[in-house]
Amino acid sequence: MRRRNFIQRISAAGFCAIVPAGLPFNLNPIEEKRTAADLADMTVAQMQQKMRSGQLTALSLTRYYLGRIEKIDRNGPKLNSVIELNPDALQIAADMDKERKNGKIRGPMHGIPVLIKDNIDTADKMKTTAGSLALLDNIATRDAFIVKKLREAGAVILGKTNLSEWANFRSTRSSSGWSSRGGQTHNPYVLDRSPCGSSSGSGVAVAADLCAVAIGTETNGSIACPASMNGVVGIKPTVGLVSRVGIIPISKTQDTAGPFGRTVADAAALLGVIAGPDPADPPRLTTTSLPSDYTAFLDPAGLKGKRIGVEKSLLKKHEGIDLLLQKALDQIKAQGAEIVEVEYMKTQNLPGAESLLLQYEFKDGINRYLSQSNARIKSLEGLIAFNNANATKTMPYYRQELFDSSQAKGDLDSKEYRDALEKINSVAGGLIDIFEKHKLDALCGPSTGPSWCIDPVNGDHWTGYGSYGPAAISGFPSITLPMGMLDGLPAGISFLGKAYGEPELIRIAYAYEQASKNRVKPGFKKTVDLG
């Protein structure tokens, strides 16, 4: 796929071209001795420690990631995970260094470079397009609520990530990680394999060390699946824990933003920054209090005494995944937890209900978003017309049947919609019944099978796992992290909790991560080695 013009311009001039006038670009003598190997895969806590000691600055860290993006994303393997760079990134980093020098530290994300999915508004020079050519003129005048929180926390907004166009809600035959604006994102482990989606670029960028942490969004699997297939950690929060204001919507019932990190600790640190109440986005599920620091729940003994329900219907689908899951369960038991076989996937067996809900809510939500945006196109009807008029560029592989079917739906007062919503809301009750009947602290299962080959003609080839699905539909939280490798491809395990149960899930996931140490760095292979 053709790369975007922003990268072509930066590549031609070098990354120094985006340094504001008067900003010192040379590293100090200590930083000049630092090699790429010193910075590779560094955790957020390590970055903060080295910035405190003067061994590292936010500016040099930002330069490192910009160089990685140029080398790995633009050239080299051409991952295609970053859709746009922030021309103000180095200036923000320099400002954060100045604050640090003057004794002001905003928190755990102070000076940390973050990439953001390109369906999240940023009130700067970057566009918000959901990967669509139809929204190339959409430059937001206000930050999304979570972007405002990131800036307040001192994060360096490095750029935006590619995604499955419209967060995978345009066609039933889409290729995850492809957008008409950004082209096809590639899996950093095996380049001809899918990165999954829709938060493809965010998962890939974290895996390939193009940023410290990243933000994705999920309606059903769009954080969990990329985390699994790219060998990183993804947290899908309880719907309502993180504001959706300023995020291009699919479903007000299921949408949420969430963090990616290479470790549970990194993802937990980012979650603590973006979580919090927003009066403009009333939560679907209510709670009385929320933690301010999710890293407080990083307990290496977090599995001791826990009861974990494993979904038994996901066994015997793939012998390799069965072996990885059995190893994971043995490690969980070795840490003092009890495994209980359950069947929780059946709670989401509501034929057609989720599809109907999403179509109704997408039409309502996208019309609201576009009508208030700076985009020239102001409605779903206008998007459909744009794509039809520019089909060779916007729809070279698949069409927009989900747009068409959504446009044909009525409003949210429709009986069909209200009936679907009632069915969807029943999933939470079904999960609670399972938690209470078996006295469980979490549910778990394989997140995905091995990644499939990228296929723009036929689309994705789902492997029949998706243990995170009931959490997505119910609005409950899930956390996905590496379970192991299968023929050079990562596979993840997902833990599901009750509403606002992120602290318990972080304890469990962190303990499992520390016991298993499953993450393997990507090797950027062209294809699977068949021997």
- Name residue 213's beta-bridge partners: 114
Mean pLDDT of the residues in the chain: 93
User: Which residue type is seen at 257?
Assistant: A
Compute the distance between CA of residue 459 and CA of residue 522 in angstroms, rounded to an integer.
Answer: 24
Contact 162, 182 (CB under 8 A): yes
DSSP 8-state symbol, 426: H
Averaged pLDDT, 424-435? 98
By CB atoms closer than 10 A (0-12, 13-18, 19+), residue 339 is middle
pLDDT digits (tens, 9 = 90+) for 370-390: 999 999 999 999 999 999 999
Note the pLDDT of residue 336. 98
Helix, strand, or coil (residue 427): helix
Contact 257, 146 (CB under 8 A): yes
Averaged pLDDT, 331-353? 97
At 1, the pLDDT band (50, 70, 90 cuts) reads very low
Among the listed residues 292, 238, 233, 290, the one whose alpha carbon sits nearest the alpha carbon of residue 265: 233
The domain ranges of the chain are 79-88+112-531
**What are the Cα distances from residue 337, in Å, to 189, 301, 435, 439, 500?**
32, 10, 15, 13, 21
Angle at 91 between CA 200 and CA 33, to 5 degrees: 85
**251-260 burial: b if 16+ Cβ within 10 Å, else e:** bbbbbbbbbb
Note the pLDDT of residue 24. 41
Contact 293, 107 (CB under 8 A): no
Note the pLDDT of residue 80. 98
pLDDT digits (tens, 9 = 90+) for 62-112: 999 999 999 999 998 999 999 999 999 999 999 999 999 999 999 999 999
More confident residue, 18 or 379: 379
pLDDT digits (tens, 9 = 90+) for 219-263: 999 999 999 999 999 999 999 999 999 999 999 999 999 999 999
pLDDT at position 404 over 90: yes
Contact 253, 424 (CB under 8 A): yes
**Percent helix, percent strand, percent coil in the chain, to nearest 5:** 40, 15, 45
Architecture of the domain made up of 79-88+112-531? Alpha-Beta Complex (3.90)
- DSSP of 249-301: -S-TTT-EEEEEESSHHHHHHHHHHH-S--TTS--SS--S---S-GGGG--TT
Contact 105, 122 (CB under 8 A): no
Compute the distance between CA of residue 121 and CA of residue 513 in angstroms, rounded to an integer.
Answer: 33
26-30, 176-180, 222-226: which has the minimum mean pLDDT?
26-30
Contact 317, 464 (CB under 8 A): yes
Instruction: Please state at what angle helix 353-372 crosses helix 380-389, rounded to 10 degrees.
Output: 90
> How do beta strands 256-261 and 233-236 pair?
antiparallel
Note the pLDDT of residue 283. 84
Question: What are the structure tokens assigned to 432, written together?
Answer: 């609670």
Contact 254, 474 (CB under 8 A): no
Instruction: Please state at what angle helix 264-274 crosses helix 145-152, rounded to 10 degrees.
Output: 110
Q: Could you tell me the pTM of the whole model?
A: 0.94
Question: What are the structure tokens assigned to 148, written together?
Answer: 């405002």
Note the pLDDT of residue 282. 87
Residues known to be catalytic: 117, 198, 222
Contact 248, 284 (CB under 8 A): no
pLDDT at position 414 over 80: yes
2-16, 300-314, 399-413: which has the minimum mean pLDDT?
2-16
